[in-house]
Amino acid sequence: METRLSSTTKEVLISDKEPTILIGERINPSGKQKLVAALQAGNLELVRKEALAQVQAGADILDVNVGAAGVDEVTLLPQAVQAVTDVVDVPLCLDSSNPAALESALKVYHGKPLINSVTGEEHRLVKVLPLVKKYKTAVIGLTMDDEGIPNNPERRAAIAHKIVERAEASGIPREDIIIDCLSLSIGADNEAGLVTIETIGKVKAELGVNLTLGASNISFGLPDRNLLNSAFLVTAIIAGVNCPIVDVAKARPIILAADLILGRDKHARRYIEAYRQR
């Protein structure tokens, strides 16, 4: 299964045979007061700065999310896309729950982006899948529906099946659907990690699709978050995740180690190069 994304001049290939692709999470105002204030003022300087820093740290793709109180995403998301492409040339993951904001960003994007995201909810499927088709993008499908996020792997995987079926029926190829099996806080529910890992295994075996995951959610409310995120990332990569959404500077070393162990780094070239740079 190969998903191809592109920027103006670069192509990124997501596949189990390739090294893990890192989607940088840091252009996102959640938990960042300074970024919230800048976005409310329409100031995109911090967005440019985070874009550059993440690509220098090894991000292959950047997630762009400008959702915050008092922000008009329909206006600001395309402006953020422009700001990011002024300073870096990597494919983008357009992260918004507002379909109108997604479409205004798609209109200014050059290349093939990833839309983040659709769910199994009927109102989301009917709004987002036509955008994926019209703009020939790829899309992240979250394993949640009108009843929320199921707490068992069978029902979570069933939503992945539904999203893939609906997308294929709309003429979207399966390789352009990337499933997110969703991680919740382990601090709130000690089975949360296991449910996610088991869902990843099922979805990979049953659908063969590429898989993403927002790995930092797992450690909310617990100490030593990077340790827990790292352990979870490795477990998720072995189970089948191949393009996680991460804090790149923190996650890249452990991901390079996992790739080396899994035979995705010939002659340990990437692992050794990253060590030399540190």
Shortest separation between residue 278's beta carbon and ligand THG, angstroms:
20
| Range in contact with ligand THG (rule: CB under 6 A) among 9-17, 26-34, 162-170, 193-201 | 26-34
- Total residues binding ligand THG (CB under 6 A): 17
Asked whether the beta carbons of 257 and 238 are under 8 A apart, the reply is: no
Strands 92-95 and 138-142: unpaired
| Range in contact with ligand THG (rule: CB under 6 A) among 25-33, 36-44, 97-105, 157-165 | 25-33
Separation between Cα atoms, residue 271 and residue 137, nearest integer Å: 31
Asked whether the beta carbons of 254 and 216 are under 8 A apart, the reply is: no
- Residue 7 or 54: which CB sits closer to ligand THG? 54
Residue 29 as a binder of ligand THG (CB under 6 A): the answer is no
- Of 50, 60, 95, 198, the one binding ligand THG (CB under 6 A) is 95
Residue 21 as a binder of ligand THG (CB under 6 A): the answer is no
SS3 call for 112? coil
Asked whether the beta carbons of 174 and 239 are under 8 A apart, the reply is: no
Strands 23-27 and 245-246: parallel
- Scanning 115-261, the segments in alpha helix (DSSP H) are 122-134, 153-169, 192-207, 225-239, 248-261
| Range in contact with ligand THG (rule: CB under 6 A) among 9-17, 29-37, 257-265, 268-276 | 29-37
Asked whether the beta carbons of 159 and 120 are under 8 A apart, the reply is: yes
Q: What is the CA radius of gyration of the chain?
A: 18
- Residue 25 or 198: which CB sits closer to ligand THG? 25
- Two structure tokens written together for 265: 């780094």
Shortest separation between residue 266's beta carbon and ligand THG, angstroms:
30
Shortest separation between residue 92's beta carbon and ligand THG, angstroms:
13
Residue 255 as a binder of ligand THG (CB under 6 A): the answer is no
- Of 3, 7, 20, 28, the one binding ligand THG (CB under 6 A) is 28
Q: Which residues bind ligand THG (CB under 6 A)?
A: 25, 28, 30-32, 63, 65, 95, 116-117, 140, 180, 212, 214, 216-217, 245
